[in-house]
Amino acid sequence: MTGRTSGASRASVLPVTIYHNPRCSKSRQTLALLEERGVKPKVIEYLVTPPTEAELKHLLKLLGITPRELLRHKEEEFKTAGLDRPDATDAEIVRAMVKYPRLIERPIVVAGNKAALGRPPENVIKILWE
């Protein structure tokens, strides 16, 4: 037995949060995917309500990635913040993401002590149904 019951999911017992940008197609697709599966996540529009430095560090830990891996390189703020330097530290990157939340790759979905980046949107399924 796999431990997975028919139809049961982590989402049915744990609160689910999505860090969402409604202007982003992948973010909209990820939210739709959750809703189609009966998940009603707490939606945080992170450009309106950016994560604090502590929250962002926690998200990175849950995702298991470095700040640079969560960084959007094509945004204007990437160069403005000096992050085009290869020697930019993790601390500098995190501070820049807090100051310029557009630099944060999206969407991020959190369920309990697990998180996934919705790129592609199907990535979030593994934290909800496994």
The residues assigned a catalytic role are 24
- Rounded Cα distance between 123 and 116, Å, is 6
* Count of CB atoms situated within 10 Å of the CB of 17: 16
DSSP 52: P
| d(C-alpha 36, C-alpha 9), whole Å | 14
Which amino acid, one-letter code, is at 55? E
Query: How far apart (Å, rounded) are the C-alpha atoms in residues 9 and 107?
Result: 20
Distance CA 86, CA 9 (A): 41
